[in-house]
Amino acid sequence: MDQTRKVSIIGASGYSGAELVSVLLKHSGVKIDKLFASGSAGKRVDDVYPRFAGTIDAAFEAYSASAACSSDLVFLALPSGEAMNIVPELLERGKRVIDLGGDFRIQDPVEYERYYKQAHSSVHLLPQAVYGLPEWNREAIRGAKLVANPGCYPTGALLPLLPLLKEGTIAPRGVVVNSLSGVSGAGRKAAIELSYVEVNESVRAYKVGTHQHIPEIKSILQHFTGHSVSLSFVPHLLPLTRGIYTSAYAPLQKAVSAEYVTDVFTRSYAKEPFIRFSPSAIPEIRNVRHTNYVDIGVRVDSDNNQLILFSAIDNLVKGAAGQAVQNMNLMLGYPETEGLL
Amino acid sequence: MDQTRKVSIIGASGYSGAELVSVLLKHSGVKIDKLFASGSAGKRVDDVYPRFAGTIDAAFEAYSASAACSSDLVFLALPSGEAMNIVPELLERGKRVIDLGGDFRIQDPVEYERYYKQAHSSVHLLPQAVYGLPEWNREAIRGAKLVANPGCYPTGALLPLLPLLKEGTIAPRGVVVNSLSGVSGAGRKAAIELSYVEVNESVRAYKVGTHQHIPEIKSILQHFTGHSVSLSFVPHLLPLTRGIYTSAYAPLQKAVSAEYVTDVFTRSYAKEPFIRFSPSAIPEIRNVRHTNYVDIGVRVDSDNNQLILFSAIDNLVKGAAGQAVQNMNLMLGYPETEGLL
Amino acid sequence: MDQTRKVSIIGASGYSGAELVSVLLKHSGVKIDKLFASGSAGKRVDDVYPRFAGTIDAAFEAYSASAACSSDLVFLALPSGEAMNIVPELLERGKRVIDLGGDFRIQDPVEYERYYKQAHSSVHLLPQAVYGLPEWNREAIRGAKLVANPGCYPTGALLPLLPLLKEGTIAPRGVVVNSLSGVSGAGRKAAIELSYVEVNESVRAYKVGTHQHIPEIKSILQHFTGHSVSLSFVPHLLPLTRGIYTSAYAPLQKAVSAEYVTDVFTRSYAKEPFIRFSPSAIPEIRNVRHTNYVDIGVRVDSDNNQLILFSAIDNLVKGAAGQAVQNMNLMLGYPETEGLL
Amino acid sequence: MDQTRKVSIIGASGYSGAELVSVLLKHSGVKIDKLFASGSAGKRVDDVYPRFAGTIDAAFEAYSASAACSSDLVFLALPSGEAMNIVPELLERGKRVIDLGGDFRIQDPVEYERYYKQAHSSVHLLPQAVYGLPEWNREAIRGAKLVANPGCYPTGALLPLLPLLKEGTIAPRGVVVNSLSGVSGAGRKAAIELSYVEVNESVRAYKVGTHQHIPEIKSILQHFTGHSVSLSFVPHLLPLTRGIYTSAYAPLQKAVSAEYVTDVFTRSYAKEPFIRFSPSAIPEIRNVRHTNYVDIGVRVDSDNNQLILFSAIDNLVKGAAGQAVQNMNLMLGYPETEGLL
C-alpha cells in the first residue's frame, strides 16, 4: 500500500452511498475524492447525515464526468436505470467502475427490460460487466473495468445455494427462496408506505413474482453452476432498519447427511473471510449487523427430502457497500478484508 | 337513544380521521354518513385502509357543504389552517361541528398567527368555539355549536396540571413540560424524516420553543385557573406508533405531602370515567394504548420543592378521535362513555 | 341471549389469558367468573395488567376444581402439559372446556410425546377433543364438551391450505410453510432470548423441523381433506409484538388460473365472518392487529407450477383468544361474531 | 506504541463487557488477555455472542486475581456492589483498574449506601478513585490507579451542564434533567419487564427520585464547579436498543444570547475529539449510535429565563465501553482517540 488511491461515489446521499462513505473511512488505502449527489448537491455531507459531523468536512456536488476524472475508481449508488447512462463515459475516460445498482447485473437485455420496466441503454457494455460476488468470481473481479455489485437479496440467496447446486446436492428445480428485509433496502425516500407508522408492527410480502432480483438470482446460479434453475423468490418487508434474512427450501437430488452438507460448505467456504458457516447454529440478523459477514446455517429435512438453508446479512454492508469495497480491494490490489473487519 | 344520528368526517383519510371511523363504528347511537377526503376522494375506504375490509362498504368523497348537510354533526380532521375556511359554512347551515385541528383552540388570533404561521380567516367565530376538554368544560360542550377538540400534547399536559394549579398547589411559573410522542402524531404523509429508517432507534426533540401547542397549553391553563403561567414545553419524537408520555416538573407553592396531592386529584377526578390517577404507580404508554384513558401519576420531590407529574395517553384516542367522540356524546346527549369503553 | 353465562379462565395471567379477558369484556352474553393463575394468585388483575384498571375489580386466584364449578364453561390458557392434568376433573364435573394449549390438538399420543417431549396423561380423552377451527368444524364444536383451540401457526397455515388441498388444486406433497411470528407468541416469561435487546433489529428461525405445530398442521390437514401431506414448516421470530405472517408455497396438481383459485376460496369462505380473501391484495399484519380476521392472499406462480399463499392473523386473537371466544359462541349458542367485531 | 499492552475484562459477558471487547478489537495497541465472566465461565465467547464468530477464538473463564495478573490493566464491568470486593486485590497486585460500575463514583459512603442499598466494603479506596470523565479530568486520569468510569446517564447530563455551571451561566438550583434510555442500559438479564412485548410500543419513567445516578450527577457537578446543585433527574425507559437522550432545563443566572452560550461551549469543548456541539442542530440518537461522540445542542428559552440543553450518546459506547477505552488511552499513553474513531 505504498500509494493512496482516490475514489468517488455517484449517488452518495442515499443509504448505500452513505454506508459506502462509512466503510471507506475505515480503509487505510483509499481517500474519498468526490461525493456526487444530485438532490443534495451543494449541501454539506454532515447536514444531510449529521452522524458524519467531525469526520467529513465536505459537500455533495453535482456529478460531471470531468469532475470524476480525478479518481482512480468510481462507485455508483444510483436508482436503477441511471447508471447505464453514466457508466459509458466513465469507462471511456479509463475509470474503473463498481455499480451498486442493478443495471449491469443481468446479461440479457430482454430480461432486464421485463423486470426493470425500461430498455437498457448500454447493451454493448453488458458483456464486460463482471458480477461482483468475490467468493465465486474473484479472479474476474481483479481485472474488471466494470463490476456489477450484487443485489442485497441475491447475495443472501446465492451464497448458500451455489455450492450445493454446483455439487449436485440440490435439484435445479422447485427451489423456494423466502426473504425478509429491513426497510433501508428500499432506499432513502419520502413515501407513505415506508413511513414508521405503516411499517412498524407489520409484515408484508411484496413484488411477488415480479421482483427485479429474480432474474439476477436465476442467471447467476446458471452462470456459476451451469444449471438452469426453476426457483421462486418472495421478498417481505419487516420492521427493522437493516438486515436480510433468507430461508431457502431446496429439494435434494439424493439423501444426504448433515455431515455431507457441512463438508460441501467447508470445502467451498472454509477460507472465505466473510462467510461463517455453522453446522449447528441458525443465523440471526443481529449477529451480522454492521458487518460484512454472511452467516449460513442449514438443516437436512429428510422428511421432505430437502435442505432448509438460512442466511443473514446486513443489506447495506455485505448486501451493498461492504461487498463493493471488497470488490474494490480485489480490483486495486488491497487485502480483501481491508476496511471491512 | 331512540334515534340514530348521522355524522360525517371531513379529512377522514388521515390517521385521526381513520381512528375516528374506528371509534364511531363501536358507537351504538350514531351512523357514519359521509367520509370526505380530498386526496383519496373516489377511493374505497378499504383500499386506503385495508383493515376496514368487511366492515365499511363505502368510498371517500370530495367535500362539499351541501353533501355534509345530511349529517347532524360534522367532525373535521384536517391539517391546520383548513378548518377555519370550512367551519363558517357548516355553522351557517346549522351543523354542529367538532374540529380536531388547531384552528379554534386559541382565542387570540395574534398568538394563532405567531405559532401557526398564517392569519386566522374566521376570527369572528373564535368567541363561540368551546374547548373540548370534557373533564373541565363539560357543560359548555353540551350546548356548543363549535367544539375545538384539544391537541394531543395539551391533553396530556393539561389534565395533570389543571387541578394542582387551580388549587394553588403548584406555582404558575417555572413549569417544565417534557413530552414524548409516537410518530402517528405527525399525521399520515410522505416525508423522509418520518420514514422508518430515520425514526427507528432514535429520539429527537423538535420545534423547541416554537410548537403550536405552547399557546394552547398556556391559554387553557389560564382559562380554567385564572393564572397566567410561565411554562416551557418540549416535544420529542420517539420510535413508537402511538402514545404520548408527559413528564412535568412543577414548583410547589408550599410543602405538601403525597396524601395532599392524592386528595387534590381525587377530588378533581374520582368520578371521571377516563382518568385513572394512581398515587403509587407510574404511568406507561402500553396501559392506555387503544383506549380513551389518561393515566396520571405523581411524585412529591421535596428535595427540589416540586411535583413531578406523569401522564400517558393514546394520541389518536384521548389525544384526538376518542376525545372527539366523548365531546360528541356530550353534545348529542349520549352517555359520555358510549363507544369508548 | 336471555341468560348470562359464567366463564372462568385457568392460566389467566399469561398473554393469551389476558387477551381472553379483553375479548370477553366486550361480550354481551357472558360474565367472567374466576381468573385462575398460579404464579399471580392473590394479586389484583390490574396490578399485573394495569391496562385493566377501572375495568376489572378482581384478583387472580389459585385454581381448584371446586372453585371452577360455578362456571358454565372453562378456558384453559396454560403452558403445554398442564391442561391434560386438569381437564379430566373439569369434564367429570360437567364443565365444558376450551383448551387454548396444545394438549388436545393431536390425536396420536405418540406424535404428542415426540414433539411435546412428555407422555400424554389423558389419552382416553383425546377421542372426544374437537378441533376448534370453526370454519371447518362448526357443527362438531357446537356440541363439544372439550374443544382444542388451534395453535397460532396452524391457524395461519391451515385456513389458506385447506380449501385448495380438499379441492385437489394443490398437491399433498412438497408444501413449504414459512411463518413469521411476533414475540407475544412465546408467552409472558422472563428469558434473555425474549428480551428487547436480543429481539429488536433481528430475525431468526427456530425449532426447525421440531416445532410442536408441525404434527398439528399435518394431522388436521389430513383430518379435513383425507390427504396425508408432506409439508415443511419453519417458524421465525420477529421484532413485533403481535401477528403471524404465513407464506406458503404449494405445488399445483394442474395448471390453474387466478380466477379458478379465487373461485375455490370464494366457495369456501365467502360467508365466513372472519376470513377476508382478496384476489388482488397481499395481506399485511397491520390490517389484522387486534382483530379476529384472517386475511388471505394468493398468487399463481405458473413459472414454478405452484401457488404462493399468504395469510396474516393476530396471534393473540384469531390465533388464540379470539378464536376461543368464537368457539365459545358456537358452544353456548351465541351469534358467532359476538364480542369479536 | 512500541509495545502491546495486555488488558482483561471482569464481567465480560454483559452488554458493557461485550461492547468493550468490540472496541478493544479495533485498538492497535492493546491485546485482550482474559475475559472473565462468572455465569458464562467455560463457554466460548462466540457461543454467547455469535457476532464474534471468526473474530475471537477464546472462552470466558472464572475470575481469579492470579489469573488477572498477566494483564497490565483490568476493566471491571460488573453489577453494582461486586467491584468493591475485587478492586482491592487488583490494586494490591499493582494492576491499574477501570471500573465501569458505580462502586467508586461516589466519594460519600453514606450516599452510596442510601442509593445502592448496601454498605460500601472498600471505603478506604474511595479517595484514590478518579472520576473518568476525560473532558474534565484528563490529567488525574493519566496517573490514576483506579478510574471510576462515569455512569451512562451522568455522562449525558454532566457534559452539557458542567461548562455552564462553572461559568455561572446557569443557576445551581432548579435544574431539571429528563433522560431517556434504550433498554441495553438495564443490562443483559432475564426479566419480564425487559422483554420485548413489555417494552415495545411503550414508555415509562422509573426510579423517580431514587435512581443511583442522582448522587453521582450532583457530586460530580459540585466537584468540578464548586457549586452544590439542587437538581431533579428522571430516567425513562424507551423502546430502542441503544442510546441516551437527555433534555435539561437550567435556570439562567442572567439573560444571555445564543452567541454567548455558543461561546461557552466553544471555549470548553472546541478541542474535544468526542464532543460535537452545534449552536443550531438538535441532537438525535441515531447520529451517535455506535460512536463515542456526545452531541450537544441548546436553545435559549428567554420566555422562561432558562436554557434548554440536549445531549445524545450511545449508552454502551460513550456511556460505558468507549469512555472506558478513552480513559485507558490516557492511562497507558495512547492517543486518546485510538480505537474510537
Locate the chain C residue with the closest alpha carbon to B275.
Answer: C54
CB contact under 8 A, C286 and A209: no
Which residue's entry shows cell 358507537? B27
Q: What is the ipTM of this complex?
A: 0.96
Counting as low any pLDDT under 70, the low residues of chain B are 1-2
Please give the interface size between A and D, counted as residue pairs whose CB atoms are below 8 Å apart: 36
What is the CA D41 to chain-centroid distance, rounded? 26
In the DSSP assignment, the letter for residue B93 is: T
d(CA C69, CA D72) in angstroms, rounded, equals 70
Catalytic residue among B73, B74, B86, B152: B152
Is residue C248 a contact partner of residue C157, using CB atoms and an 8 Å limit?
yes
The structure's pTM equals 0.97
Top residue of B274, B275, B287 to mutate, by most chain C CBs within 10 Å, is B287
Strand order in the sheet with D231-237: D204-205, D231-237, D175-181, D244-251, D306-313, D294-301, D275-278
In sequence order, the 6+-apart residues with CB closer than 8 A to the CB of A257 are A300
Distance from CA of A215 to the nearest CA of C (A): 12
Instruction: Decide: residue A266, CB within 10 A, 0-12 exposed, 13-18 middle, 19+ buried.
Output: middle
Looking at residue B1, its pLDDT comes to 44
Helices (runs of H) and strands (runs of E) counted in chain A: 11, 13
All partners of chain A with 3 or more CB pairs under 8 angstroms: B, C, D
d(CA D143, CA B295) in angstroms, rounded, equals 51
State the pLDDT confidence band at D3, using cuts at 50, 70 and 90: confident
Out of C51, C286, C341, the one facing B51 most closely (by C-beta) is: C286
Q: Region A238-256: what's the mean pLDDT? A: 97
Out of D55, D201, D284, the one facing A50 most closely (by C-beta) is: D284
pLDDT digits (tens, 9 = 90+) for D269-285: 999 999 999 999 999 99
Chain-wide mean pLDDT for chain D? 97
Chain A environment of B196 (Cβ under 8 Å):
183, 194-196, 199-200, 239, 241
Chain B environment of A196 (Cβ under 8 Å):
183, 194-196, 199-200, 239, 241
| Residues paired with B204 in a beta bridge | B237, D284
All partners of chain B with 3 or more CB pairs under 8 angstroms: A, C, D
d(CA A137, CA A140) in angstroms, rounded, equals 6
pLDDT at D63 > cutoff 60? yes
pLDDT digits (tens, 9 = 90+) for A75-120: 999 999 999 999 999 999 999 999 999 999 999 999 999 999 999 9
Out of B50, B201, B281, the one facing C287 most closely (by C-beta) is: B50
d(CA D341, CA D339) in angstroms, rounded, equals 6
Distance from CA of A286 to the nearest CA of B (A): 14
All partners of chain D with 3 or more CB pairs under 8 angstroms: A, B, C
Which of C229, C248, C251, C231 is closest to C172 using CA atoms? C229
Name every residue in D having a CB less than 8 A away from some CB of C. 15, 183-184, 188-192, 194-197, 199-201, 239-241
Locate the chain A residue with the closest alpha carbon to C176.
Answer: A249
State the pLDDT confidence band at A203, using cuts at 50, 70 and 90: very high
CB contact under 8 A, B194 and A199: no
Looking at residue C106, its pLDDT comes to 98
In the DSSP assignment, the letter for residue B326 is: H
Out of C51, C290, C291, the one facing B287 most closely (by C-beta) is: C51
Cell representation of residue B305: 420543592
In sequence order, the 6+-apart residues with CB closer than 8 A to the CB of A186 are A194, A237
The runs of H, that is alpha helices, within chain B are 15-25, 45-48, 65-68, 83-92, 109-116, 134-142, 152-166, 196-199, 213-225, 258-269, 322-332
Q: Verify whether residue B69 is a known catalytic residue.
A: no
Distance from CA of C304 to the nearest CA of A (A): 6
pLDDT digits (tens, 9 = 90+) for A117-169: 999 999 999 999 999 999 999 999 999 999 999 999 999 999 999 999 999 99
pLDDT at A1 > cutoff 50? no
pLDDT at D1 > cutoff 50? no
Distance from CA of A134 to the nearest CA of B (A): 29
**A318 SS3 class:** helix
Q: Cα dist. D106→A35, D80, D248 in Å?
A: 48, 12, 22
pLDDT at A3 > cutoff 80? no
Is residue C45 a contact partner of residue C52, using CB atoms and an 8 Å limit?
yes
Looking at residue C1, its pLDDT comes to 43
Chain A environment of C174 (Cβ under 8 Å):
174, 251, 304
pLDDT digits (tens, 9 = 90+) for A284-325: 999 999 999 999 999 999 999 999 999 999 999 999 999 999
Looking at residue B3, its pLDDT comes to 75
Q: Cα dist. C229→B138, C176, C233, C251, D34 in Å?
A: 63, 11, 12, 12, 53
Cell representation of residue D257: 444570547
| Residues paired with C84 in a beta bridge | none
In sequence order, the 6+-apart residues with CB closer than 8 A to the CB of A176 are A231, A232, A248, A249, A250, C176, C178, C249
Chain C environment of D199 (Cβ under 8 Å):
196
So what CATH class is C153-315? alpha beta
Distance from CA of C316 to the nearest CA of A (A): 14
Q: Region A165-174: what's the mean pLDDT? A: 97
Cell representation of residue A185: 433496502
Which residue's entry shows cell 373439569? C90
Chain D environment of C194 (Cβ under 8 Å):
195-197
In the DSSP assignment, the letter for residue D229 is: -
The hierarchical CATH code for the domain C5-150+319-332 is 3.40.50.720
Instruction: Decide: residue D166, CB within 10 A, 0-12 exposed, 13-18 middle, 19+ buried.
Output: middle
State the pLDDT confidence band at C3, using cuts at 50, 70 and 90: confident
Out of D50, D289, D291, the one facing A281 most closely (by C-beta) is: D50
So what CATH class is A5-149+319-332? alpha beta
Is residue B320 a contact partner of residue B100, using CB atoms and an 8 Å limit?
yes
Domain map of chain C by residue range?
5-150+319-332, 153-315
Beta-strand relationship, B30-36 and B5-10: parallel
Catalytic residue among D152, D214, D240, D264: D152
CB contact under 8 A, D276 and A53: yes
d(CA C19, CA C17) in angstroms, rounded, equals 5
Distance from CA of B50 to the nearest CA of A (A): 12
Is residue D340 a contact partner of residue D292, using CB atoms and an 8 Å limit?
yes
Chain C environment of B54 (Cβ under 8 Å):
273, 276, 293
Beta-strand relationship, B306-313 and B294-301: antiparallel
